[in-house]
Amino acid sequence: MIPAVLEPGGDGATALYIVAFSLFIIGVKRGTHPTTAKQGNLVAAGGMAIAVVTTLLLDGVGNWGLIALGLGIGTAVGVIASVRVQMTEMPQMVALYNGVGGGAVALIAWSEIRNEIAEIEAGHISSVPLDILIPILFAAVVGSVSFWGSNIAFAKLQDLIPTKPLAVPGQQVINAVLLIGIVAGCVSIAVGNDDPSQLTFIGILVAAGLLGNLVVLPIGGADMPVVISLLNAFTGLSAAAAGFALDNVALIVAGTLVGSSGTILTMEMATAMNRSVANVLFAGFGGAPSGGPAGSTEERPHVSIGAQDAAIKLAYADSVVIVPGYGLAVAQAQHAIKEVADELEKRGVTVNYAIHPVAGRMPGHMNVLLAEADVPYEQLKEMEEINPEMSRTDVAVVVGANDVTNPAAKNDPDSPIAGMPIIEVNQAQQVIVIKRSLSPGFAGIDNDLFYEPNTSMLFADAKQAAADVAAQIQEL
């Protein structure tokens, strides 16, 4: 048995926690540049090691067998997952991490309330102080919402359930009832804090879980970047709340840091889609915008070309902008596209990549995929940077992107994606769209771009098409 050397809440433990959260902040600060980010991550991990060891040395921490079991299982799962996960699957993985993080907080809150109830029964305290009880309730609700909401987000991203918005009849009413029930339960526990009911508490956990499921279920796949960021923010806040309940400064600071990060990303993603967070969360409710997928099923005229034609168009251009989307990730085409870019650069063509903020399924996702394919950092252009260049671009190549290039967002006020900022590829002299078919994207709507006169469709799997085009350019 390791001797307990630190008093919980004592100066020694607090000092070590301060060192730990300082290292978190330094770590994140180093994350502001690609060259220092890797080192920053190690700094933050060092902070975590200090925080964990400090806690293990606290007086009262015990049940070493179970701690070893939990640590062992968690470490094994974490190692295997992080080594095996493909970069295309990062959104799912982050959704899952959000989920287990929220789940851990909800479980801790449950255990903590049981402990407080036991203290009352033993006569140690007469009632649970509200400055402990309220954070416990907050942590339980937000943690449970995060856990169950993230599970649905994961299932949608993993294609286990349909990614299209799913509406449950009467959902508005059900959600409102759940929310009222949760608030009522919390109030009843807080008012009766001399005898909190564990049954009510479990009811709150269940209701919050249902609410998490029901809120995420109707949200379409294209809105996932917002949802993942928001759940990230939630888990952070729930951790901070757990810190209030447990009087633990490391939890408060680290949780708040995560909460800030999630909040910033949520706002950036919502801005990138020209929608409010409330609109993303509740638009599915009335079924209004997501309902009719612009419906026209009749054939519209379009131009179809082969790899050779595409190669000629590209090879004799001066400037090419590649617009990658999630389809590129699914087809694992990032390396093949890099080959095309290399071939073009050998011929003196300027190649840039236009990255829409929501090009992937989470913030910054596309950048990671292209970095994996060794695309230089400087060639990754943000939307605001590249749009003014579009009219001077000879050929824009859209690979697996759809909704983020749809001119309907600008031209058709009735479109479900109306007002969403897009990469204005239709401004380029010519557009080549590499896509398997004319089928709609995640938003479930037809893309007007495909039918514009300067657009050529190259129907193929993105990876195969890119490889063919690269080969054709080489032969020119």
Partner 1 sequence: MSLMTEITIFVLAAFVGFEVISKVPTTLHTPLMSQTNAIHGIVMLGGLIVLGYADDGLEYVIGTIAVAFGAINIVGGFMVTDRMLGMFSKKPKPKADPDGKGGGK
For the annotated catalytic residues, the residue numbers are 403
Q: How far apart are CA 333 and CA 30, in angstroms?
A: 31
Closest to partner 1 by CB, 171 or 235:
235
Q: How far is the CB of 45 from partner 1 (least distance, A)?
A: 4
Q: Which is nearest to 152 in space by CA: 207, 220, 203?
A: 220
Radius of gyration for the alpha carbons in the chain, expressed in angstroms and rounded: 26
SS3 304: strand
Which residue has 């010519």 as its token pair? 430
Q: How far is the CB of 236 from partner 1 (least distance, A)?
A: 6
Q: What is the dihedral of CA 76, 78, 83, 87, to 10 degrees?
A: 160
Q: How far is the CB of 337 from partner 1 (least distance, A)?
A: 16
Burial (CB < 10 A; 0-12, 13-18, 19+), residue 135, is buried
SS3 414: coil
Q: How far apart are CA 164 and CA 308, in angstroms?
A: 36
Quick one: tokens of 223?
């809105």
Chain centroid to Cα 103, Å, comes to 17
CA torsion through residues 15, 20, 23, 25, sign? negative
Q: Are 141 and 110 in contact (CB under 8 A)?
A: no
Angstrom CA distances, 238 to 55, 256, 281, 356, 407, stand at 19, 9, 19, 31, 40
Closest to partner 1 by CB, 252 or 431:
252
Closest to partner 1 by CB, 252 or 466:
252
CB atoms within 10 A of CB 392: 12
Q: Are 140 and 208 in contact (CB under 8 A)?
A: yes
CB atoms within 10 A of CB 122: 8
Residue type, 177: V
Q: How far apart are CA 400 and CA 328, in angstroms?
A: 5
